[in-house]
Amino acid sequence: MSYAQITGWGKYAPPLLMTNDDMAKIVDTSDEWIFSRSGIRQRHYSHISTGEMAWLAGEQALAAAGLKADELDLVILGSTTPEEFCPNTASWVKNKLGASKAAAFDLNSACTSWLYGMNVATDMVKSGSIGKALVIGAERISLAMDWSKRESCFLFGDGAGAVVIESSQQKSGLLAAHLSCVPDSRDCLRLPTFGFTPAHFTGDLHVSLDFEGQEIFKSAVKGMADAIATVLEREGLEAEDIDFFVPHQANVRIIQTLAKRLNFPMEKVMVCIDKYANTSAAAIPLALCDALATGRIKPGMKVLTASFGAGLTCGAAVIQWGDRVEPMGHSDAAVPDYEGTVFDLMKDSFAYYGVDAEHLLSK
């Protein structure tokens, strides 16, 4: 039987930060409120596109795997915020990487996009239809924040994370995965009009995130707990057999509630929402990269992951880590820095939502 081992990993975190204190200059909030309700201290905001972030994370993942782009058979880009829908962004990333023979598609299941993509790519590798794949999660979700809604605009940040998977005879990679979509929970998290509708022709397009925080919270905990129970049972594992847990980073209280429900100690849980906020499809691969860089994932560990996102899509997987936790190499691919502040970067977005940022910042 063949497996789909994770052989490379990489991330891109944009250099510009929006701290909670910065946010409190624009909306009626505070660092104390945001941190105590969500565990978030800051988020990275990107001056480059989702595709460019995906490319930079992909270059790092390829270097970590010691692989050349033209050896890839497939590039999947998990994202809710591609800069264009046609052609897909994965094809741009594939060309930029030089992955000449790879197929390329975008996958949108919101925050679970990377996990959904990993499941698809793993099954393709295991079936023998492909040998090597790059699975990326990337989001420039700062552009979707509605600055008139203090209840949601602080929650999200930009970034990208990527992994390379390769066919292997060693029992490794995603062993069991379960994907689901919670019934009747579509309306609690939506970006209506962000796509083609008749309003496209009338110019009546106001993009604004619709969000029911507490409803999402409850559905997310239940959806992830159910998906985790399914994968553990499928692998014949108990929670205590898991060495490390890398959950989706949407709210530290969701993570704590889930860990408590599983009777799983927080010392074995990856939490990096303080640094990145919720980066949607990028959250789990970013967290994996940081867990590897800080020595929290060790060779041969059993790593549990679980995610949820708009839809409400959910999923969980058990990952058997291989023998290597050090990258084979590093890429020096880079883009020029942004010459300005985070407020300069966001000024058109503030104006779109009717926020007079210039006045607020001058106070």
Ligand X SMILES: CC(C)(COP(=O)(O)OP(=O)(O)OC[C@H]1O[C@@H](n2cnc3c(N)ncnc32)[C@H](O)[C@@H]1OP(=O)(O)O)[C@@H](O)C(=O)NCCC(=O)NCCS
In the three-class reduction of DSSP (H, G, I as helix; E, B as strand; rest coil), residue 203 is classed as: coil
CB neighbour class for 359 (10 Å; exposed up to 12, middle 13-18, buried from 19): exposed
Rounded least distance, CB 85 to ligand X, Å: 21
CB closer to ligand X, 155 vs 282: 155
Name the residue whose CB lies closest to ligand X.
213
Q: What is the DSSP string of 230-292?
A: HHHHHHT--GGG-SEEEE--S-HHHHHHHHHHHT--GGGB---HHHH-B-GGGHHHHHHHHHH
| Residue 47 designated active-site | no
- Kindly report the three-state secondary structure assignment for every residue of 29-76: CCHHHHHHHHCCCEEEECCCCHHHHHHHHHHHHHHHHCCCHHHCCEEE
Rounded least distance, CB 332 to ligand X, Å: 33
Q: φ and ψ at 254, to 5 degrees? A: -65, -45
Note the Cα 257 to chain centre separation in Å.
20
| Residue 289 designated active-site | no
CB closer to ligand X, 38 vs 49: 38
| Per annotation, catalytic residue among 20, 88, 251, 278 | 278
Judged by the rule CB under 6 A, the positions of this chain that interact with ligand X are: 29, 33, 37-38, 111, 150-151, 154-155, 189, 213-214, 216-217, 250-251, 278, 309
The Cα–Cα gap between 228 and 305 comes to 8
CB closer to ligand X, 132 vs 248: 248
In the three-class reduction of DSSP (H, G, I as helix; E, B as strand; rest coil), residue 7 is classed as: strand
| Per annotation, catalytic residue among 248, 251, 272, 289 | 248
The Cα–Cα gap between 110 and 161 comes to 15
CB closer to ligand X, 214 vs 362: 214
CB closer to ligand X, 33 vs 194: 33
- Kindly report the three-state secondary structure assignment for every residue of 94-163: HHHHCCCCCEEEEECECECHHHHHHHHHHHHHHHCCCCEEEEEEEECHHHHCCCCCCCCCCCECCEEEEE
The Cα–Cα gap between 316 and 115 comes to 8
Rounded least distance, CB 213 to ligand X, Å: 3
Rounded least distance, CB 270 to ligand X, Å: 16
Any idea what DSSP says for residue 338?
P
| Residue 111 designated active-site | yes
| Per annotation, catalytic residue among 20, 47, 111, 153 | 111
Rounded least distance, CB 67 to ligand X, Å: 31
The residue type at 320: Q
CB closer to ligand X, 147 vs 154: 154
Rounded least distance, CB 8 to ligand X, Å: 26
User: What positions carry a catalytic annotation?
Assistant: 111, 248, 278
